[in-house]
């Protein structure tokens, strides 16, 4: 067996031990002690299946459905909040460099005196007055508002580290009152606060005001909030009173909200679709909606018509879950010089795997896929993955898989530039769902 060669002595001892907490019926007989790692992993899978079956039957015996996070709630409507920070990168830079917020600030690629070929990441509201916005070519931004010495524009390349730190602080404030929390991007999050506010929309409004003040006092940034019964409506309402605004759409006010509102304002309707609809004479959402799903479907396609109808009826998703915005959780390490000691690299991989699983536990997420990334000297990169039958968040299981994937795939005698671990095929751990449902029952 290649794995049991001398350079992997640690592995040998790990793989030749039985799983200590195996239930009695799965205790491997003595002769299995020296099975290949592959077979031992198969045994491990059987154990996982067994455990999962155990948890599943527990759910059922308690009369709880394992797949619906909100089913035990007494509230028909969910109260969702969407929070989006105002001119995020620019606001962080203003804070960090103590800049005058009234002067136009543009974050993006180097404008090179108007010849720059990159784009604008964002800009503050003073720069927006010049018609500058995210994703605009930086040369165009310069034309509208030149930088020193030709004009008042202040151009900064930006520093990701600063934004991540500020984002983390904001997210930890937002997370606190949310039963379900989802960081949707570096500056936006969804919260389900239904139970926390006792289903009361006024309490929800007051809570958002408190969160807004806390973020401003503790982090120095302003945020806008949208409160509504579905994700898409919450997102749209956080835009309404930007910056530093709060806007609420009550369940029976949705139709009113869409009266005269441009179709282009609905996330998911891009410029192409909006132009096509405008050619048929529909500019606002209510104009398209009154046509009815059937007639609209004949023109714009059934799927689109059904979706738009659901948006206005308030029946699109109200699920808030980290899984919606995340495909995987991973960490990797680039070595300052290429490593030839694979044993040392394996130690790094173990530590990365631990950290990923710690993070997934914190987020209440489990996964089915273990993926190890190896980059060799010269940048050649390989990923090696393996799935287990059910999603888990137990570090030991993934540690074994990571070790196995590394040991069986790494090309010997080659220098390593990077190693990484990724947890994929994410899911909610059944244990956590059960806990949440039980808490709601109390």
Q: What does 121 bind: Mg ion, ligand DCP, none (CB cut-off 5 to 8 Å by kind)?
A: ligand DCP
CB closer to Mg ion, 55 vs 134: 134
Residue 87, interface with ligand DCP (CB under 6 A)?
Answer: yes
Strands 246-248 and 366-376: unpaired
Contact call for residue 167 and ligand DCP (CB under 6 A)? no
Smallest gap from residue 98 Cβ to ligand DCP (A)? 19
Indicate which single residue of 8, 48, 79, 84 sits in contact with Mg ion (rule: CB under 5 A).
84
Among 182, 187, 371, 393, binds Mg ion (CB under 5 A): 187
Q: From the candidates 188, 195, 319, 403, which is the catalytic residue?
A: 188
Token pair belonging to 387: 């799935």
Q: Judged by CB under 6 A, how many residues of this single chain contact ligand DCP?
A: 14
By the 10 Å C-beta count (0-12 exposed, 13-18 middle, 19+ buried), 341 is classed as exposed
- The partner in contact with residue 135, picked from ligand DCP, Mg ion, none with C-beta cut-offs of 5 to 8 angstroms by kind, is ligand DCP
Distance CA 32, CA 19 (A): 11
Buried b (16+ CB within 10 A) or exposed e, 266-283: beebeeebbeebeeeebe
Which ranges of 71-223 does DSSP label H, i.e. alpha helix? 88-97, 125-128, 138-144, 160-175, 201-219
**Please, which of residues 290-309 interact with ligand DCP by CB under 6 A?**
none
Those residues with Cβ within 8 angstroms of residue 145's Cβ, 6 or more apart along the chain or in another chain: 104, 106, 127, 130, 132, 151, 152, 153
- Facing residues of 315 across strands? none
Only segment of 59-67, 81-89, 272-280, 390-398 that touches ligand DCP (CB under 6 A): 81-89
Nearest to 393 by CA among 346, 303, 323, 312: 323
Q: Pick one of 21, 29, 135, 412: the residue that binds ligand DCP (CB under 6 A).
A: 135
Q: Establish how many alpha carbons lie within 13 A of residue 209's alpha carbon, considering only the half-sphere containing its beta carbon.
A: 7
Residue with smaller CB distance to ligand DCP, 80 or 356 = 80
Distance CA 26, CA 223 (A): 54
Q: Is 93 in the site for Mg ion (CB under 5 A)?
A: no
Beta carbons of 45 and 368 less than 8 angstroms apart: no
Q: Of 11, 73, 83, 84, which one interacts with ligand DCP (CB under 6 A)?
A: 84
Those residues whose C-beta lies under 8 Å from the C-beta of residue 413, and which sit 6 or more positions away, are: 340
For ligand DCP, what does the binding mask look like between residues 232 and 261, x meaning CB under 6 A? ----------xx------------------
Task: Give yes or no for residue 96 binding ligand DCP (CB under 6 A).
Answer: no
Residue 253 annotated in active site: no
Applying CB under 5 A, which residues contact Mg ion? 84-85, 88, 187
Q: Which residues bind ligand DCP (CB under 6 A)?
A: 84-89, 121-122, 134-135, 186-187, 242-243
Q: Which active-site residues does the annotation give?
A: 188
């Amino acid at each position: 067996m290649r794995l049991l060669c001398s350079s992997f002595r640690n592995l040998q001892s790990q793989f030749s031990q039985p799983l200590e907490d195996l239930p009695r019926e799965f205790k491997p007989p003595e002769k299995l002690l020296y099975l290949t790692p592959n077979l031992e992993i198969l045994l491990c899978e059987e154990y996982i299946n067994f455990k999962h079956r155990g948890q599943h039957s527990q759910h059922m015996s308690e009369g709880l459905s394992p797949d619906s996070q909100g089913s035990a709630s007494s509230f028909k409507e969910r109260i969702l909040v969407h929070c989006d920070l105002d001119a995020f990168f620019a606001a962080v830079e203003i804070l960090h460099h103590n800049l005058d917020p009234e002067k136009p600030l543009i974050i993006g690629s180097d404008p090179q005196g108007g010849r720059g070929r990159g784009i604008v990441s964002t800009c503050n509201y003073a720069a927006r007055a010049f018609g500058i916005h995210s994703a605009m070519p930086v040369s165009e931004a310069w034309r509208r508002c030149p930088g020193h010495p030709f004009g008042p524009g202040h151009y900064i390349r930006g520093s990701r580290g600063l934004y991540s730190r500020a984002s983390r602080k904001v997210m930890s404030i937002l997370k606190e009152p949310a039963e379900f929390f989802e960081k949707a991007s570096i500056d936006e999050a969804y919260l389900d606060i239904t139970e926390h506010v006792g289903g009361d929309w006024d309490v929800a409004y007051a809570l958002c005001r408190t969160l807004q003040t806390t973020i401003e006092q503790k982090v120095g940034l302003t945020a806008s909030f949208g409160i509504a019964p579905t994700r898409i409506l919450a997102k749209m309402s956080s835009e309404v009173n930007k910056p530093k605004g709060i806007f609420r759409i009550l369940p029976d006010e949705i139709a009113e909200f869409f009266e005269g509102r441009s179709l282009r304002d609905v996330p998911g309707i891009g410029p192409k679709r909006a132009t096509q609809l405008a050619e048929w004479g529909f500019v606002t959402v209510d104009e398209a909606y009154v046509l009815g799903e059937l007639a609209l479907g004949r023109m714009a396609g059934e799927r689109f018509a059904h979706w738009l109808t659901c948006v206005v009826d308030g029946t699109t998703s109200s699920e808030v879950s980290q899984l919606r915005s995340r495909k995987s959780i991973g960490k990797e390490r680039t070595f300052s010089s290429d490593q030839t000691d694979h044993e040392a690299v394996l130690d790094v991989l173990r530590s990365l795997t631990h950290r990923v699983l710690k993070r997934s536990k914190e987020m209440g997420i489990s996964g089915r896929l273990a993926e190890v990334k190896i980059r060799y000297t010269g940048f050649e990169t390989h990923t090696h993955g393996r799935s287990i039958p059910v999603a888990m968040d137990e570090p030991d299981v993934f540690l074994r898989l990571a070790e196995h994937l590394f040991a069986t795939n790494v090309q010997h005698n080659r220098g390593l530039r990077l190693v990484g671990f990724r947890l994929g095929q994410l899911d909610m751990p059944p244990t956590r769902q059960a806990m949440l449902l039980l808490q709601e029952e109390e």
